């Protein structure tokens, strides 16, 4: 089977043999994908010239209804998608649900959000700005959809969520989608887009897909385009350096890998609810999707006096995690996405072990359930202990994109804040404490280095959505190493796909503009 690309309003074959898509459990080749021979300049122009005008002719409410129709198509085929997620990504049922339902859930959220924007076709900041002594002449700020394409370059770990969380915001904004999923796991993205196209629910040019390599895609950008990237920091920096991107000043949003951390408060002794919640969350973040989440916990900080207690509790919990072929109902953790990622993860663990002790896991030759270690891409859940995090470097620099986490001690609030910042900027942090004062101090202290801070105590333990789960009503992104970008966050996400323009005019003219706009503070 050879996966096609959807461009120029038609399905197009790429030339050559293409890159193989592999089952990470069996090593079986599932399909091949290629974009060679696809005219990317023409494809982008089709999105801009056909998809853009069609979407902008619709109101926000109408585009919200479009998102609802996409969601209905995807919901009908959920079982098929779960099977693909197992075969091409090695997902357990829970892993697949996070990816598939995360994508459809975001579509649903933004389809509902559109109701608040109604029949308007542009947005406006509330209020006017007085420009002169005579109040007749004033100013206002409006937001209009960009006239380019939303170019979405996604990572291998979320072929559904990565695709639809970006598409939901872009389409609602009135900007056509030009999606480039990671080739290794693009089978799910392909099947989803094919189903939506065949259902005929999107205008021509509004949804486009490239399944093979990006090739010279960045060379065909214009200043009207907006590029939303998710992946490694190295790739983000490489793309940022593209001469055409720099020359065009096209918008570029990066959500990159980061050393996310979780912290146990000094009040949370063994036996406390917050202690147990912390252990549960760290182990879950290590094993869900085999740790292949950009938000997963990589560093866990605990009070010095209970370091061994935490290590023991985590080790005992991880020992119960059955790792192997997700087709076996007893399995709770699947493989990494391919052999290349397995090697990178194992190499990273070796580097960390130079300044941390491997408590459990970490070694090659791990024997998963119902899978051949030689053909599969498994890494055992790996817990490390670093007793001197202040002198250490690798644990704050190297992210193992897999089921690995390093536990470290801290002494007091100031030390915890300083150690947290050693990650260089992260997408997410979590704090487990019943102490209100500590919770507020640590939240404010680490906020500048994190895009999101989850604070958990016994009262919200059963309500909280999870350290690594991105919710569409809150922003997602982070400073520094995490890419410096921001997406989602309800209406805040629309900002990336709109141009804010100051209009200076007679007050009654401004009032007419305001009356026809959706009033939103972005």
Catalytic machinery residues? 255, 294
How far are the Cα atoms of 242, 336, 351, 382, 400 from residue 346, in angstroms, in the given order?
32, 11, 9, 10, 8
Both structure tokens of 236: 């983000």
Q: How far apart are CA 423 and CA 417, in angstroms?
A: 11
For residues 251 and 233, give the distance between their C-alpha atoms in angstroms, rounded to a whole number.
Answer: 17
Beta bridge partners of 307: none
User: How far apart, in Å, are the Cα atoms of 128 and each of 133, 134, 222, 491?
Assistant: 14, 14, 32, 21
* Those residues with Cβ within 8 angstroms of residue 157's Cβ, 6 or more apart along the chain or in another chain: 89, 185, 289, 292, 293, 294, 337
- Strand locations in 216-289 (E): 226-231, 251-256, 261-264
> Helices in 399-520 by DSSP H: which ranges?
412-421, 436-446, 507-515
Number of Cβ within 10 Å of residue 146's Cβ equals 25
Report whether 430 contacts 454 (CB < 8 A): yes
- Chain-centre distance of CA 314, in angstroms? 26
Contact between 88 and 491 under an 8 Å Cβ cutoff? The reply is no
- Cα–Cα distance between 261 and 270 in angstroms, integer? 20
| Cα radius of gyration rounded to whole Å, the chain | 24
The label of the residue with tokens 């974009």 reads: 35
Rounded CA separation 428/449 (Å): 9
What's the distance, CA 77 to chain centroid?
23
């Amino acid at each position: 089977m050879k996966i096609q690309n959807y461009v120029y309003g038609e399905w197009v074959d790429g030339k050559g043999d293409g890159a193989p898509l592999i089952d990470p459990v069996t090593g079986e080749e599932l399909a091949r994908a290629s974009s060679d021979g696809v005219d990317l300049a023409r494809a982008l122009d089709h999105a801009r010239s056909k998809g853009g005008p069609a979407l902008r002719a619709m109101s926000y409410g109408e585009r919200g209804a479009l998102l609802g129709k996409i969601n209905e198509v995807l919901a009908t085929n959920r079982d098929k998608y779960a099977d693909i997620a197992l075969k091409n990504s090695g997902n357990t049922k829970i892993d697949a649900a996070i990816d598939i339902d995360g994508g459809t859930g975001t579509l649903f959220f933004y389809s509902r959000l559109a109701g608040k924007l109604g029949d308007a076709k542009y947005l406006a900041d509330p209020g006017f700005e007085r420009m002169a002594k005579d109040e007749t002449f004033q100013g206002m700020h409006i937001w209009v959809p960009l006239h380019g394409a939303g170019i979405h370059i996604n990572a291998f770990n979320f072929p559904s969520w990565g695709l639809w969380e970006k598409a939901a915001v872009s389409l609602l904004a009135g900007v056509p989608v030009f999606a480039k999923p990671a080739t290794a796991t693009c089978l799910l993205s392909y099947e989803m887009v094919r189903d939506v196209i065949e259902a005929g629910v999107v205008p021509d040019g509004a949804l486009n897909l490239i399944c093979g390599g990006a090739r010279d895609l960045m060379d065909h950008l214009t200043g009207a385009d907006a590029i939303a990237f998710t992946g490694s920091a190295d790739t983000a920096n490489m793309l940022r350096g593209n001469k055409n991107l720099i020359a065009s000043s096209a918008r570029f949003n990066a959500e990159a890998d980061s050393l996310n951390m979780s912290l146990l408060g000094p009040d949370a002794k063994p036996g406390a609810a917050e202690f147990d919640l912390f252990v549960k969350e760290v182990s879950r973040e290590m094993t869900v999707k085999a740790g292949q989440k950009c938000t997963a916990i990589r560093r866990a900080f605990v009070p010095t006096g209970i370091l061994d207690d935490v290590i023991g509790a985590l080790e005992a919990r991880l020992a119960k995690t059955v790792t192997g072929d997700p087709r076996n109902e007893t399995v709770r953790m699947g493989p990494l996405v391919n052999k290349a990622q397995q090697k990178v993860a194992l190499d990273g663990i070796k580097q960390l072990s130079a300044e941390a002790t491997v408590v459990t896991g970490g070694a090659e030759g791990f024997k998963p359930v119902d899978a051949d270690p030689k053909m599969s891409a498994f890494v055992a859940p790996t817990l490390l202990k670093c007793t001197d995090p202040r002198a250490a470097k690798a644990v704050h620099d190297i992210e193992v994109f897999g089921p690995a986490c390093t536990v470290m001690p801290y002494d007091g609030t100031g030390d915890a804040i300083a150690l947290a910042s050693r990650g260089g900027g992260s997408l997410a942090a979590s704090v487990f404490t019943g102490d209100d004062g500590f919770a507020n101090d640590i939240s404010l202290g680490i906020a500048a280095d994190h895009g999101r801070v989850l604070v958990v105590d016994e009262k919200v333990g059963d309500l909280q959505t999870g350290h690594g789960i991105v919710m569409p009503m809150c922003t997602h992104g982070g400073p520094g190493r995490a890419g410096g970008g921001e997406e989602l966050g309800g209406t805040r996400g629309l900002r990336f796909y709109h141009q804010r323009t100051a209009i200076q005019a007679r007050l009654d003219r401004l009032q007419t503009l305001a009356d026809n706009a959706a009033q939103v503070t972005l």
